[in-house]
């Protein structure tokens, strides 16, 4: 079979073509974005975003985030095309088994593109959500094709587990299958998931390499391509980490933890290389002091606050989280309050994709913004308020009103963000920010709030929020387009 007639070559060509189309899309997106208001709501680009990109399905596939109509169509094409390649040019059962193995190997290339989702999405210029969908879908397809290959090989008595080839083939297939099961425990024990996921991925690659006969050079090229991609992106990521954490004549990253109540932690990071923080940016944080297990392990966090130097760059960033298990619990238990410890960061990543804001590309395009949150979910809303107030001072926003409604969950929630809220209302020269805090533990009347803060701009209510009344009230007095952002407890 000639190379140009090989379905594997078609797959690789399609991937390269899609990457080129994505690059072209990014260029066109940037071009049309600057002319968005001129094109109007009936332009092809606007209609494309409104009906194919922005909407989300109401259902959620297993381990795959909710899809846009465009994502759903691409997923259908991907599965249909792969199924066709399973049969084109393969006449016997044995050939179909080999074809399934080749397709499984081809799907390893996007799987091993990067050791971390954040950095992989950053390199490709796509959202973390999109990269996650690609990664999970390719992983599912690789495991499915491997299962087909193993099943056909077993029926044809081609597998002999007593031989190294058969054993390594079964081991590689089991490792790929385990990678589909591990995400079920990701939210509960992130650190265990991360290490186990990495170990299984390495074992799978080694086992598959040993399973493939040395005479099958074309099959081994897929493994080499996966290794080359992983090595290249890993080297770039390492250089980025070194650049972000090491600066001549300055201390490396230092962390100072401040606990609030029993399980809330506010962590301040002093960074050697300041950068201009944008709302929604994330970092991965590592603290070697926590133990050998955490020496090279990083945990993802969203930046909740930052302090700027005279040039507008952040010389310190702050995180806020609730200690649960693993890394976050170790930070609370092992780090002494107000004492500096050495840390390292990877990032920044993000910010969040602007598609979350509907037909507008920026949150600042909306005249009226209603932010609702509970618990320490406030940490994700504060950066956007801080950024909007800064842009307001520079006369670069359309926003006239920001209404923040925050319902406390536990003791310590208010204290953890009080100083930041006080600073925001103090910086609000245009009196555009209105803050309402509801404390279910207080017995005050919900109709008679207690006024606190700078110019008494923060209203503290007793009881729980009536979300329907809040939304109706904001709809009645909105100025311009209304955006509602919501985030539950962190």
Judge if 342 and 383 occupy the same domain. Answer: no
With H, G, I as helix, E, B as strand and everything else as coil, classify residue 132.
helix
Query: Is residue 44 situated within a structural domain?
Result: no
pTM: 0.83
Q: Pick from 300, 326, 349: which residue ends a domain?
A: 349
- 374 and 337 in one domain? no
38 in a structural domain: no
Say if 29 falls within a structural domain. no
Residue 381 and residue 417 in contact, taking contact as beta carbons nearer than 8 Å: no
Domain with residue 317: its CATH number is 2.40.30.10
Q: What is the rounded distance in angstroms from the CA atom of residue 282 to the CA atom of residue 352? A: 9
Give 153 or 483, the one with higher predicted confidence. 483
For residues 129 and 277, state if they share a domain.
Answer: no
Other C-beta atoms within 10 Å of 339: how many?
10
What is the C-alpha separation between 148 and 176, in angstroms, rounded? Answer: 13
What CATH number is attached to the domain comprising 473? Answer: 3.40.50.80
Most confident of 1-10, 54-63, 127-136: 127-136
More confident: 144 or 157: 144
Same domain, 88 and 143: yes
The pLDDT of residue 334: 92
Under the banding of pLDDT at 50, 70 and 90, the label for residue 404 is: very high
Residues 362 and 335 in one domain: no
User: What pLDDT shows up at residue 38?
Assistant: 43
Question: Which one has a higher pLDDT value, 270 or 119?
Answer: 270
Residue 15 lies in a domain: no
Whether 401 and 276 map to the same domain: the answer is no
Indicate whether 463 pLDDT > 60. Answer: yes
Q: Label residue 12 by pLDDT band (50, 70, 90).
A: low
pLDDT given for residue 170 in this prediction = 84
* Average pLDDT value for residue range 261-274: 92
> Whose structure tokens read 């991907």?
78
Q: Name the residue with higher pLDDT: 37 or 393.
A: 393
Structural contact between residues 219 and 105, judged by C-beta atoms closer than 8 angstroms: yes
pLDDT band with cut points at 50, 70 and 90 for residue 355: very low
Side-by-side strand order, sheet with 344-349: 299-302, 282-286, 344-349
Residues 65 and 195 grouped into a single domain = yes
Query: Of 240, 266, 296, which residue sits at a domain end?
Result: 240
* Residues 362, 450: Cα–Cα separation, whole Å: 34
> For residue 273, what pLDDT band results from cuts at 50, 70 and 90?
very high
> By C-alpha distance, which of 298, 296, 284 is closest to 327?
298
Q: Report if residue 371 sits inside a domain.
A: yes
Question: How much of the chain exceeds pLDDT 70, in percent?
Answer: 83
Same domain, 403 and 425: yes
- If asked whether residues 306 and 389 sit together in one domain, one would say no
- Strand ranges inside 276-418, DSSP E: 282-286, 299-302, 305-308, 314-322, 340-342, 344-349, 368-374, 401-407
pLDDT attached to residue 282: 94
Give backbone dihedrals phi and psi of 61, rounded to 5 degrees, phi first. -70, 160
Average pLDDT of span 344-361? 67
Q: Is the pLDDT of residue 329 over 60?
A: yes
Closest listed residue to residue 192, CA positions, set 285, 297, 113, 278: 297
Domain that holds residue 467: 354-487
CATH label of the domain that carries residue 159: 1.20.120
Same domain, 328 and 181: no
Let me know if residue 20 belongs to a domain: no
Does residue 16 sit within a domain? no
In the structure, what pLDDT confidence band is assigned to residue 157 with cuts at 50, 70 and 90?
A: low
- The pLDDT of residue 353 is above 80: no
> pLDDT grade, residue 325 (50/70/90)?
confident
Domain boundary among 240, 264, 294: 240
Over residues 62-67, the mean pLDDT reads: 62
Are residues 79 and 202 both part of a single domain? Answer: yes
pLDDT digits (tens, 9 = 90+) for 180-220: 887 776 766 777 787 888 889 999 999 999 888 877 777 88
Q: Is residue 146 in some structural domain?
A: yes
pLDDT of amino acid 302 = 94
Residue 271 CB contacts under 8 Å (≥ 6 apart), including other chains: 244, 253, 314, 315, 316, 317, 345
Are residues 150 and 285 both part of a single domain? no
How far apart, in whole angstroms, are the C-alpha atoms of residue 195 and residue 295? Answer: 12
The number of domains in the chain is 3
What are the tens digits of pLDDT across the range 412-457?
889 899 999 999 999 888 889 999 999 888 766 666 788 887 777 8
What's the pLDDT score for residue 402?
Answer: 92
Confidence grade of residue 344 (pLDDT, cut at 50, 70, 90): very high
pLDDT at 471 over 70: yes
Residue 291 zone, left/alpha/beta (φ > 0; ψ -120 to 50; rest): left
Mean pLDDT of 235-252: 92
Mean pLDDT of the chain: 82
């Amino acid at each position: 079979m000639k190379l140009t007639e090989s379905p594997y070559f078609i797959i690789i060509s399609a991937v390269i073509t899609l990457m080129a189309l994505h690059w072209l899309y990014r260029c066109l997106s940037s071009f049309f974005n600057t002319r968005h208001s001129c094109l109007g709501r009936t332009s092809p680009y606007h209609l494309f975003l409104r009906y194919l990109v922005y909407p989300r399905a109401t259902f959620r596939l297993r381990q795959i985030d909710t899809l846009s109509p465009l994502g759903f169509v691409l997923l259908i094409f991907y599965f249909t095309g792969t199924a066709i390649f399973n049969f084109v040019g393969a006449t016997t059962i044995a050939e179909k088994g080999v074809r399934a193995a080749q397709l499984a190997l081809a799907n390893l290339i996007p799987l091993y593109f990067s050791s971390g989702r954040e950095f992989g999405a950053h390199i490709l210029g796509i959202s973390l959500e999109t990269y996650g969908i690609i990664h999970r879908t390719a992983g599912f397809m690789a495991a499915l094709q491997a299962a087909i290959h193993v099943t056909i090989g077993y029926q044809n008595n081609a597998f002999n587990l007593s031989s190294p080839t058969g054993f390594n083939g079964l081991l590689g297939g089991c490792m790929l299958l385990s990678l589909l099961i591990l995400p079920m425990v990701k939210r509960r024990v992130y650190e265990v998931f991360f290490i186990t996921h990495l170990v299984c991925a390495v074992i799978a690659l080694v086992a598959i390499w040993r399973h493939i006969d040395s005479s099958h050079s074309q099959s081994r090229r897929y493994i080499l391509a996966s290794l080359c991609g992983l090595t290249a992106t890993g080297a770039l990521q390492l250089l980025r980490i070194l650049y972000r954490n090491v600066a001549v004549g300055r201390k490396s990253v230092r962390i100072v933890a401040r606990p609030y109540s029993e399980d809330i932690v506010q962590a301040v990071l002093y960074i050697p290389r300041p950068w201009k923080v944008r709302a929604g940016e994330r970092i991965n944080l590592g603290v070697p002091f926590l133990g050998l297990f955490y020496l090279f392990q990083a945990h993802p966090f969203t930046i909740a606050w930052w302090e700027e130097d005279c040039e507008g760059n952040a010389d310190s960033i702050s995180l806020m989280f609730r200690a649960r298990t693993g890394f976050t619990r170790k930070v609370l238990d092992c780090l002494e309050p107000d004492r500096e410890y050495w840390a390292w960061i990877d990032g920044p990543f993000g910010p969040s994709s602007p598609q979350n804001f509907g037909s507008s590309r920026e949150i600042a395009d909306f005249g009226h913004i209603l932010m609702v949150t509970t618990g320490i979910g406030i940490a994700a809303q504060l950066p956007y308020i801080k950024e909007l107030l800064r842009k307001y001072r520079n006369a670069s926003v359309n926003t006239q009103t920001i209404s923040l409604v925050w319902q406390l969950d536990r003791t310590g929630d208010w204290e953890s963000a009080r100083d930041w809220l006080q600073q925001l209302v103090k910086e609000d020269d245009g009196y555009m920010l209105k803050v309402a805090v509801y404390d279910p533990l207080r017995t005050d009347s919900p109709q008679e709030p207690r006024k606190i803060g700078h110019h008494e701009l923060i209203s503290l209510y007793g009881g729980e929020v009536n979300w329907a009344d809040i939304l109706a009230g904001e709809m009645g007095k909105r100025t311009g387009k209304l955006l509602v952002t919501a985030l539950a407890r962190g």
